[in-house]
Structure 1
Amino acid sequence: MSESRFADLLERVMGLSAASIGPGAIERAVDARRRETGLRDGDAYWALLQASSAEVQQLIEAVVVPETWFFRNPQAFRAMERDVLGPRLRADPQAGARLLSLPCSTGEEAYTMAMALMESGIEPHSFSIEAVDISQHAIDMARAGCYGRNSFRGHELAFRDRYFDARPHGWAVRDEVRAPVRFAQGNIFAPGFMAQAGVFDVIFCRNMLIYFDIPRQKQAIAVLRRLLAPDGTLFVGHSEAGLMREEGFVSAGMAMAFAFRRAPEAAALRAPAGPTATVVPPPRASLRAPVAKRPAALRVIERVRPTRPETTRSIAKTLDLAALRRMADDGRVEEAERGAQTYIRENGASPDALLLLGLISDAAGQGKAAAHYYRKVLYLDPGNVEALGHLALLLRREGDHAGARLIDERMRRQDGRRN
């Protein structure tokens, strides 16, 4: 059952590198599907895969484990609104903007893009969002638009009251948020993927490339380059920032947002957007495998202004933790870090202060420090879903897949107690 042929198949149809999700993940998925189909052994299941594109998709669904939530890594959404689209759309609402969420998972990212723009006063008719994922199950959940507590993490949840309606088993996205978002299944490696879609002003493609080997990464980046408008902005995960620089993109200079643009010579002339095209599902499979991440060796690439040590004490005294977190979002990372440390020295450790230090360390690629802070948060607040979520992602990124699964189970139990 652990034969490489199954891994080779998944790499061929969805680009998934087996090394990125741990040695046992594919074996467990294959075994689960074999038992589900009632077949006696791996050879029989392999034969079924050769004959059935539908079963290939079912195997993909078994491998894909979505892990996302609303306003995850909020710096990117804030930069999108404040520095990229907001000024243009407020000056000329008729100018319009096209956005792409790829992969979109169960829809939290795409809906967050819409909410972030609406929060700044931009009307939904001024923009459109295409959202694409390999998992049909994820797309179905995104279209249903009803979410449990695990999709709402952190303490700043006022947006939930503004854009969701309470339901017996969760919260349903309101129609005004749904209106500009269109979901479709699609495979970035399928021939002609979104060939008629034109270009996008903003693309969110966070934490997808880390699941591919180098040739597949280059292939996927070529597609992203084609889909990105010459003056557009591409947001990636912090573990992927170095790769984008290697592939000829330049930082957009938005602290902790990990935003990139084409090299200046490529952005001199904006290509026409062209008509919005429907994404036609490919015959075999489509695009997303969020289950694990390779270790992040990179540090924050957008440098921030240093703070003189003598000013740190006054910062911590005059700002609460929410303000320190906003300071980090604004790119004043070193000030926020020193302020949080001083806050802890003067007021004692608190889950919020430790979580802020964990997020700053995580974004800087300092995995050991981030894990240390996340675990301290959980010692003080065992049910802190934000710390649980970030720790699970960090463990996967560092190859501790067993530890990540334990955290996942803990989150599911926590979510069950809250619902």
Structure 2
Amino acid sequence: MKALDRIADTLKASMGLDMATVGSSLIERVVRERMAALEIEDDERYLAELITSGAELQRLTELAVVPETWFFRDREAMSAVARMAREKLASMPAGQIRILSLPCSTGEEPYSLAMALFDAGVPASMFRVDAVDIRTRSLEIAADGIYGRNSFRGRDLAFRDAYFTVQDGDWRIDDRVKEQVRFSAGNLLTPDFMRGSAPYDFILCRNVLIYFEREVQLQVVDLLEHLMKDDAYIFVGPAEGGIMLSPRLASAGIPLAFGFRKRLPEDRPVAAAAVAPLPAIMLAPASAPPVPPRPVAAPTRRSAPAAAATTEVHVPQLLLDRARRLADQGDFAQAGELCEQAVREHGASADAFYLMGLIQDAGGDVTAAQRCYRKAVYLQPAHHEALLHLAALLQAQGDVAGAQTMRQRAERAEKAGKPRENAHG
């Protein structure tokens, strides 16, 4: 085995970063940068330095982690935490909400959480955010609380006027927000990570699991479960939902938030008969001939009452809504059948194929999931979530170039202001 491969293995054992996921070019680039800084030209010599020096391993880790975050990224998760925290405190007025942001990067996420709770009317004394990251440089930036233009994206920047002051062309976050967040360094993969920590009401661990191989993903999810209270919620990134679904964790059913909770003893898949039938008023008469599948926008060749037009638009969505509820309850088989029924009776739909992909992904059939995601992207090239999930599957299969292409397409779709509504809570 070449020295560079052993260096990559050392980095992977330390922080879980899989070369098959991020690409060998990234690993080689950061290694060469550290070798140049140390004036080392021989790979074997640098490997020896890396193995014997914890400080050098930390420096290499700092370079390998590329922070990419901004304030109120995936705003739905922030809003969900604030709303549920307020509701929970209503029944425990003397309590305090504990929130964990992991990894917290340069602080935009935990500070966003604090601002969201303030906006929801939660007093400072009733919540605390713990923020942990492996990269000490990121923690230094977070502690300073001074941010440039790249940390503020999107159109809704009202929070910047409310919680920041201008300082030398940048923005400095208010002390009242800083005081709610406690930063610390930590590595998810160390045996003693957060050992003995009290459990949390909410955990955000987003956009990090996709960089680990499957065995490490399961190890981290197990750790996070132990850090959750029985009624806690955990939020992950858009491409990580399939990783979280398990016999112990269930979808929280919060649209676009990618939240999960511990399954309760009474959680059971709901039988198909228990689901309310579709409203009869929305269905075509039983005697009507079947309508051949066609795009919704296709012109009709015969006149029809307004109610008939409403039927063609709404019945597929009702089927998908039922499928979504069943999938959230763990009844993947029935949910998949409803998706197939929607496609069979009302034509191909990007949302239907995306939901089918999520169902297959949760069931462990990655080949079928990938096929469904590709169909969704074919029908809707800017389907943001389908692109991200497809990227995650390609990464897991070692197709780094394909995964990068899908992520770039998803980023372009998001920047164009056309994110698709997630079809699954």
- TM-score normalised by L of structure 1: 0.66
Matched, 1:51 2:66: no
Q: Which amino acid aligns with 1:67?
A: E
* CA distance in 2: counterparts of 1:170 and 1:370, whole angstroms: 42
Counterpart for residue 70 of structure 2? 69
**One-letter identity of the residue aligned with 2:22:** I
Corresponding residue for residue 94 of structure 1: 94
Shift of 1:196: 2.1
CA distance in structure 2 between the partners assigned to 1:65 and 1:370 by the alignment:
33
What is the CA–CA distance in structure 2 between the aligned matches of 1:217 and 1:146, rounded to whole Å? 33
Residues 2, 27 of structure 1: 8 Å contact kept: no
CA separation of 1:42 and 1:404: change in aligned 2, threshold 3 A: farther
Q: 1:222 to 1:266 in 2, by over 3 A?
A: farther
Match of 1:104 in 2: 104
Contact in 2 for aligned 1:230/1:266 (Cα 8 Å): no
1:30 and 2:31 matched = yes
In structure 2, give the amino acid aligned to 1:52: S
Q: Secondary structure at the match of 2:245?
A: helix
Alignment of 1:216 onto 2:231: no
- SS of 2:94's equivalent in the other structure is helix
Q: Which letter does structure 1 place at the counterpart of 2:154?
A: G
Deviation of 1:241 (Å)? 1.0
CA distance in 1, matches of 2:212, 2:62: 17
Residue 169 (structure 1) shift: 3.6
Q: Report the residue type matching 1:235 in the other structure.
A: F
Match of residue 192 from structure 2: 192
| Distance of 1:121 and 1:29 partners within structure 2 | 45
Distance change >3 Å, CA 110–CA 147, structure 1 → 2: same
Alignment partner of 1:142 is 2:142: yes
Give 3-state SS (helix, strand or coil) of 2:67's partner: coil
- CA pair 191-370 structure 1, distance change in 2 beyond 3 A: farther
User: Which structure is higher in RCO with an 8 Å CA cutoff and minimum separation 6?
Assistant: 1
In structure 2, what is the Cα distance between the partners aligned to 1:371 and 1:184? Answer: 42
How many pairs align?
A: 315
Partner residue, 1:41: 42
**CA distance in 2: counterparts of 1:153 and 1:262, whole angstroms:** 33
Mapping of residues 17-416 of structure 1, within 5 Å:
17-82=18-83, 84-90=84-90, 92-246=92-246, 248-265=248-265, 368=377, 372-373=381-382, 399-400=400-401
**What residue ranges of structure 2 are gaps of 5+ in the alignment?**
268-277, 283-295, 297-305, 311-323, 325-349, 359-372, 395-399, 413-425
Given that 1:395 and 1:403 are in contact with CA atoms closer than 8 Å, whether structure 2 keeps it comes out as no
- Aligned 8 A contact 2:247 2:263 in 1: no
Q: Kindly state the Cα deviation for residue 402 of structure 1 after the two structures are TM-superposed.
A: 7.2
Q: Is the 8 A contact 1:124 1:180 kept in 2?
A: yes
Distance 1:22 1:371 in 2: 28
Match of 1:11 in 2: 12
Identical aligned pairs, as a percentage?
A: 39
Q: TM-score, normalised by structure 2?
A: 0.65
User: 1:368–1:406: structure 2 CA closer, same or farther, 3 Å change rule?
Assistant: closer
Q: Aligned to 2:202, what secondary structure does the other structure show?
A: strand
Distance 1:394 1:153 in 2: 23
- Partner secondary structure for residue 196 of structure 2: coil
Deviations 1:338-377 (A, max 9, x none): xxxxxxxxxxxxxxxxxxx9xxx89986784799549xxx
- Structure 1's unaligned 5+ residue stretches are 268-304, 315-330, 332-356, 375-386, 411-419
User: Aligned partner of 1:127: which letter?
Assistant: F
Compared with structure 1, are the counterparts of its residues 405 and 52 closer, same or farther at alpha carbon in structure 2 (3 Å cutoff)? farther
Between 2-11 and 230-239, the greater mean CA deviation after superposition: 2-11
From the superposition, tell whether residues 395 and 39 of structure 1 become closer, same or farther in structure 2 (CA, over 3 Å): farther
- CA–CA distance in structure 2, aligned partners of residues 157 and 120 of structure 1: 17
CA distance in structure 2 between the aligned counterparts of 1:370 and 1:41, rounded to whole angstroms: 51
| Secondary structure in 1 matching 2:105 | coil
Q: Which structure would you say has the larger Rg?
A: 2
Q: Displacement of 1:2 after TM fit?
A: 7.2
Worse overlay, 240-249 or 13-22: 240-249
Displacement after TM superposition at 1:394 (Å): 8.8
